[in-house]
Amino acid sequence: MHASAIQSITIKASEVDFALLNDADELQKMLRNITELAGLHHLESVTHQFSPQGVSAALLLSESHIAIHTWPESGVVYVAMTTCKVLDDDKLQQIKELIARLLDTEKIIMKEMAL
């Protein structure tokens, strides 16, 4: 694999509803939706529900991984995806819009870096 074929995407969303950020099933579903939209392939998943609140979840992909971490008390969520299938700007915008819609927030920061 050539080094330039690796892409890392990070997304931070804020002002997200507490209940949604504490819903492990919905967050896992969101990761699967992002994976499908990106044309990536899910292999395995892991989820951890923290007490009193918060969720960390990850999907192992044949192309690498995607993970989510939430802080419901602050209304903040962080999504990180690394993939050897480089996604174009249109696909990245579609992912950003999907996350904004699923989390019901306009407060989204997305950063992309080719490695």
Give catalytic status of residue 64 as yes or no: yes
Give catalytic status of residue 41 as yes or no: no
Give catalytic status of residue 42 as yes or no: no
Catalytic residue among 14, 42, 45, 84: 84
CB atoms within 10 A of CB 26: 14
Question: Phi, psi at residue 89, to the nearest 5°?
Answer: -60, -40
Catalytic residue among 14, 45, 56, 64: 64
CB atoms within 10 A of CB 9: 20
Question: Phi, psi at residue 13, to the nearest 5°?
Answer: -120, 140
Catalytic site positions = 64, 69, 84
